[in-house]
Structure 1
């Protein structure tokens, strides 16, 4: 399943969430960099008045930029759009997989028009639940088909074909994504933790230098303390360690669920298998959302 094969509501909410996430993280990054550069300007204690004046002016501009970016975050509410968009997109995606594989509420023996009505009704419920997102959704995307031709094509396959399609395109794809993201977040966590420790160590050494040479015009303490604090803030924002654990747990649970793959021989078995799998994926997303809101 490609992005274009999912309902327009999914595509619009997914795009809105990713854009809001990008904007939010970029503004936070610019904010932190502005403060780091401002602290870097205070490393050397100039004796002449003119250099000091320029340092003060530049530092003031950078701090004003940082203050403005903080206000932008508050006003634009990128974080809320990110979370709500992700929640809506994941809800639509799970519902779509249940529909095309004929799982709970969308069983194969339900008439086409009735199953279509059920699916549309559920999407309408999701849309109403997240109606605050409407102003952030792309109008041209939102009006794309609710049930695409690809969705009907997969739904009309026989039991074995639907089972194989689900394993390959949902379970395996999701497991690989979780595993890749888990290792990525582990690596990023270690890298940023190294930055924090290194900055704190250099700040301590700088204090030792100033104790030994109190007459020095060089002071690196504030600069590396700011780097350490900024790196810690970024680490808390990204939550690499928490995400690594959540993705690893989700991948492992999906692997256990897939172990029962051979027992799926009927539409009823497949419906239960899909329900268990989608519940496992939903739990990971629910955990992610809860961590982001704490």
Structure 2
């Protein structure tokens, strides 16, 4: 019996593991850099509303908060220049594209889906898979894969391919389709929740900004904070543009619908020929969500 409910990353081929690792590293670097840039800019905007002067020997007066604000801008500039130099966003997107394509090819090979139908010999199928994987990598020549010690084709992939039709069918439905549906479901809920939280934060700050601006208009003793609040709002909008919670929630919900339909068709299959075709269609449904995600990210 070679039925599996879940496939660990270590059972996927080198191409997936290396590209996935490179993508995660690029994502973490890009997101953290964006986070700190927005924090520093918001901090600088807030400091600009106040003054704290001091004298240093014969030099003075010096505004300490203005100096701190200048340091925040310089730090932001350094982060921006480093991002331009290293392009972690490109590693993130390109790595994810290669990793997802490699995962799709892995499952087509292991389950006996087109273009690796089960009547294709194991050796021929392995050669065809290696050629496809190399073709995927060739489409992203600038991507630097993470150095990992992993096989080009894992033992699990070959064992799964050589198992019976029923075992391959059960494994694919559980470890690929159901696992992917669970991932989409969890992340759709998470992104929907985060989207509501940030929308509430934006509305609250907008109301606060309006109230404080009106208060300062009629009372000169009230500190004018509207410019700082505007900076905070701009930072939140930019952060949401980076995370894209609304878009992700909708895209994952649509992907669940497509996978549910694909799952129903897969369960009805009784022949290898039909199975190879339906596995190919199911993988295309999974790939569709990622293609849309990649297209929107590339426009940022």
Same fold (TM over 0.5): yes
Q: 1:31 aligns with which of 33, 37, 41?
A: 37
Does residue 72 of structure 1 match 2:82?
Answer: yes
| TM superposition shift of 1:257 | 1.5
Equivalenced residue count is: 288
CA deviations 1:21-61 (Å, max 9, x no partner) are 01000000000000111122234455x55596101111110
Paired position in structure 2 for 1:59:
69
Please state which structure has a larger fraction of its residues in helix.
1
Query: Structure 1: which 4+ aligned runs deviate by more than 6 Å?
Result: none
Unaligned runs of at least 5 residues, structure 2? 1-6, 56-60
TM-score when normalising by structure 2:
0.92
Question: SS state of the match for residue 63, structure 2?
Answer: helix
Determine which of 255, 258, 262 is the counterpart of 2:263.
258
Q: What does residue 237 of structure 2 align with?
A: 232
Q: 1:71-220 residue pairs with structure 2 within 5 A?
A: 71-134=81-144, 137-139=145-147, 141=148, 144-216=150-222, 218-220=223-225
SS of structure 2 residue aligned to 1:145: coil
Following the alignment from structure 2 to structure 1, what is the Cα–Cα distance between the partners of residues 254 and 62? Answer: 54
SS in 1 for 2:143: helix
Aligned residue number for residue 274 of structure 1: 279
Structure 1 contact 24–79 (Cα < 8 Å) conserved: yes
SS of the residue 1:132 aligns to = coil
Question: How high is the TM-score relative to the length of structure 1?
Answer: 0.94
2 CA distance for matches of 1:81 and 1:19?
Answer: 8
Distance 1:78 1:288 in 2: 17
Residue 238 of structure 1, CA deviation = 1.0
Q: Secondary structure at the match of 1:133?
A: coil
Deviation at 1:284, TM superposition (A): 0.4
Task: Tell me whether 1:19 sits opposite 2:29 in the alignment.
Answer: no
- Rate the CA distance shift 1:198–1:248 in 2: closer, same or farther, 3 A: same
Shift of 1:215: 4.2
Q: Which residue of 2 aligns with 1:288?
A: 293
Superposition CA RMSD, Å: 1.5
State how far apart, in whole Å, the 2-side matches of 1:261 and 1:179 are: 20
Matched, 1:247 2:255: no
